[in-house]
A and B are shown apart, each in its own frame.
Chain A
């Protein structure tokens, strides 16, 4: 199997990634933008999940909360992913070798698939959830799984800074 390492070395050697990596402002600015936008994205996802679980905002219909929050979740997600990708481009070999980074990517993939599965299948019945007790059980389960996954993504993301397992 061809190795990805030569490609990462090429990326790391580019003039612009080198310039950002060696600057004193590059990492602080990109990392802070990543955290600030992620907090908005994940914060609104967590609010939605708390509603699904039935812990908060229970007076508002699930569908109403989700429809109105979705654009703002995306408004956080797009810059969060862009800044995250930029961080990887600037220092690819560091992240490639970081165990927590790999764990985070795997969790992110699972959380993403779970979110898509929720939107395409589970959520279709959301209109009935507010009356039907079975719908509420489905909603609770979906919310709990999503909360657990996004909490894990945040925790593993934070732990990238620690090289415990390398």
Chain B
């Protein structure tokens, strides 16, 4: 792991970021705009699973439409997240909040791509009424924790 962190910090991209006054900040801005869009697409589906979102479209319809937004916004989040990590790889590697955020992110991604996807796309009569609500509650808790963790990296 130590070797990987060193390799990240030594990349030409990382050096370019450290040399530039604006590059890192502009990357953070794009990251935040994409994160906000991503969370919007998470929340609209979770609201629908809770029975609170737009109800004239089926759960599956909202979920499928949200997936496109999630993929595009997620791609931008990833592409803008990587240089932030490599530029300051050692300080992120030592940050307990960063490590926690990455574990939460992994959990949230796996949950969203498996159980949440399956429940959101399932025929609405097939599941007991509490199941989509429980899935939405877990999803909101996971993704808000990831967001909060991301913001707290600055401090710890």
Contacts and interface: CB of A to CB of B under 8 A. Distances in A.
Interface of A: 28, 31-32, 35-36, 38-40, 42-47, 50, 55-61, 64-65, 68-69, 72, 151, 154-155, 158-159, 161-162, 164
A120 B44 CA distance: 24
Contacts of B56: 60-61, 64
Contact of A154 (B32, B47, B66): B32
B29 A31 contact: no
Contacts of A69: 44, 47, 53-54
Contacts of B44: 44, 47, 57, 69
- The interface residues of chain A, by DSSP majority, are classed as helix
A147 to B, nearest CB: 9
Would you list the 6 A-B pairs with minimal beta carbon distance, nearest first?
A: A43-B40, A60-B57, A47-B40, A43-B39, A155-B29, A68-B54
A43 B36 contact: yes
Interface residues of B, number: 37
Given A28-B152, A72-B43, A162-B25, A47 B69 contact: yes
Contact of B147 (A35, A46, A159): A35
Contacts, number: 105
A98 B53 CA distance: 39
Contacts of A64: 54-57
Interface of B: 21-22, 25, 28-29, 32-33, 35-44, 47, 52-57, 61-62, 65-66, 68-69, 144, 147-148, 151-152, 154-155
Contacts of A35: 147-148, 151
B45 to A, nearest CB: 10
Contact of A158 (B28, B53, B155): B28
Contact of B62 (A28, A32, A57, A158): A57
A39 B52 contact: no
